[in-house]
Amino acid sequence: MGGNVTFNISYTSFFLLGFPGLKESRSLLILPFLFLYMVILSVNGLIVYTVTTQRSLHQPMYVLISLLLVINICTATTVVPPMLFSFSIHFNHISLACCLVQMFFIYFLLLFDCNILLIMALDRYVAICYPLRYTEIMTNQVLAGMVGVAASRSVGMVAPVVILAARVQFCRSNVIRHFTCEHMALMKLSCGDISLNKSVGLALRVFNRILDLLLLAISYTRIIHAAFRISSGGARSKALHTCGSHLLVIFTVYGSTLSSSIVYRVAPRTASQDVHNLLSALYLLLPCLINPVIYGARTKEIRQHLDPSEKIPSLPLQRDPGS
C-alpha cells in the first residue's frame, strides 16, 4: 500500500459501473444489449456488403450510405463490449489510457457520422441542382477528398477535449457511474478546476452543432426548392423521396444527441444516473439501429438487391442516383 500512495493523488485506473441503480440486477442487461449489438452488426453489415458487391451501387450516394453504416458498426463496437463488461464486477476495470482512447473514438465517430451527413447533403445538392454536371463534379477523387476533410475535422474537434481530459487529476473516486468513458461522466471524478474543460467541450459542441445544422438547413432548402422546379412529376417525387430518407436519418442522429445534452445540462441533479445512462445508450446506439432500416426500406436500388423478389429495373442515370 505504501508504494501506491502517490498514485492515490490521481487515479490511473477506474471501474465502469453501467446503470448503477440496478445494482446486482445489472447482469440481466447483458443478453438484451448483446442481442441489440448482434442486430446492429447484422443489418448494417448486410447493406454494406450489398453496396460493396453490387457494381450498380458503386455511386457516390450509395458509397456514402455504406460509409455511414460502417461508422455505425464502429460506434456500436466501441460502446457495447465495454458496456457488457461494465455490468460485471469482475471485468469492468479500465485504465485511464484506455478510457481516454475510448472517449476519443466515441466522439470522433459521432462527429464523423455528422460530417458524412453533410457530405450526403452536398451530394444531393449537386445531383438535384446541377444534374447535367453531377458526374463531372462528384468524382471519386472529390469524394475521397471530402471524406478526408470530414475525418480531419472530426479529429480536430475531439482532440482538444481528450487532451484536456488527460491533464485532469481524478481523486474523488475511481468508479465511473457509466458504461462508457463519456467526458462528463469522467469529469465528475475530477478534483480541481475543470472550468476550461467544460468551456472548451461546450463551445466545440455548440459551434459544431449550430454550424452543421445551418449548413444542412441551407442545403436542403435549396434542394427542396430545386426539386419543386423539376417539371417531371416522377423525377420530383424521386428527388424528394431520396432527401426524405436523409432527413429522417438527420433527425434521428441530431434528435437523440440533443436530448441527451439537454438532460445533462438542464437537469444534472434531478435526473438519476440510470436516466443519464439510458439517454446515452439511446443517442449512441439508436441511430446505429435505425439508419440501416431507413436506407434499406426507403432506398429502392438497395431494397431491390436485398429482396430478390423485386424486379430490378435498368440502371438509373449516373447524374442523379436517387431512390
Contact 71, 112 (CB under 8 A): yes
Chain segment 247-276, per-residue pLDDT in tens: 888 888 888 777 767 766 666 566 688 888
Would the pLDDT of 136 be above 70? Answer: yes
Would the pLDDT of 322 be above 60? Answer: no
CA distance 239 to 127: 9
Domain annotation for the chain: domains and CATH numbers: 31-306 (1.20.1070.10)
Closest CA to 229 of 88, 100, 130: 130
Report residue 251 as a C-alpha cell: 433527425
Share of the chain above pLDDT 90, in %: 46
pTM: 0.86
Chain segment 207-250, per-residue pLDDT in tens: 888 888 898 888 888 888 887 776 666 666 777 777 788 888 88
CA distance 117 to 61: 11
